[in-house]
Amino acid sequence: MVFLRFSCPLLPLLVVVCPVAVKAYSTRKSLAVAEKSICSRKAFFGNVAAASLAACASIAAPAPAKAVDDPSQLTDVYFGVGCYWHIQHEFVEAERNFLGRADAELTSRTGYAGGTKTDAEGRVCYHNLQGVADYGKLGHGEVVGMTIPESSIGDFAKEYFSLFTAAGERVDPMDRGGEYRSLLGLPGGASHQMYPQVEAAAAAKGMTLALGKGNDPDTLGKKLVFVYDTAKFPFYQAEVYHQFHDDFQSRAYGKEYNKLANLAFEDNRLKVTGCPDRV
């Protein structure tokens, strides 16, 4: 079999000259047989040209762009189970793996939800020496809020329940109190159209879902998750210094991960909270 290398601007094209082996013939009769056994010169170059153009055209065609999230189908949700530092990292990875998001497209942010109050200025803050808008005293729990396609809620619910231990407990049972309760928020709460997928993910882990009333207690030892309507119990972003933070359950996530807080603050995905003790 004889091969010729025929090139276009982007890719060498390997062309098979003829499907039969070409042998050397010394006699005129043999040459006639050989002539019949190989492709005609005209047909050969015609095939080469067609194949080359097809190859070049296929390469020149732009690669399919990554699917862009349809804004009309995006929704804000939140999940919480124990300290939010670890949970944020896991949902950052979920955004990358499930949605193919780049660093500048990540929406996972640490925050607070599930309480019935804010301070007079609408703030909810981490514990601070000034006692300003303390999230624990206001009845909120630590959560991670994100903006995802509605169709992905089931996948993110499965990810959420995978963060519990085999016994259905959070990985940091040393943190106690309503601030660390297990909770999740959807628009409409249990009436959301994707809620059955959340129920299925909970059942697969042996967990029970209950409607949150606000200011709910700790769920440690109960295999229980409170469900909130995000319209009634909205998400409040945590201070910037609590974003993309290393936790105590894993090895340090690395400087590149920590720097995501700066990137998100610079492009306005993270806001100034007005809380004391830094932004």
Residues 6+ apart with CB under 8 A from 50: none
Q: How many residues does the chain have?
A: 279
Q: Which residue is it, tokens 């042996």?
A: 206
Q: Which residues pair with 184 in a beta bridge?
A: 79, 227
**pLDDT of 180:** 98
Q: Residues 123-128: contacts with CB within 8 Å, 24+ apart?
A: 123/236, 123/273, 123/274, 123/275, 124/236, 125/239, 125/273, 125/275, 125/276, 126/238, 126/239, 126/242, 126/275, 126/277, 128/275, 128/276, 128/277
β 224-229/141-149 pair status: unpaired
DSSP, res 197: H
Return phi, psi of residue 184, to 5°: -145, 155
> Does the domain formed by 71-266 have CATH 3.30.1060?
yes
Beta pairing, strands 12-16 & 3-7:
antiparallel
pLDDT at residue 279, rounded to an integer: 64
The predicted structure's pLDDT at residue 71:
61
Separation of alpha carbons 115 and 142, rounded Å:
10
Closest CA to 190 of 225, 220, 156, 218: 225
Looking at residue 72, its pLDDT comes to 66
Q: Which segments in the chain show pLDDT lower than 50?
A: 1-68
Please report the pLDDT score of residue 36 as a whole number. Answer: 40
pTM of structure: 0.75
Q: Where in the chain is the domain with CATH 3.30.1060?
A: 71-266
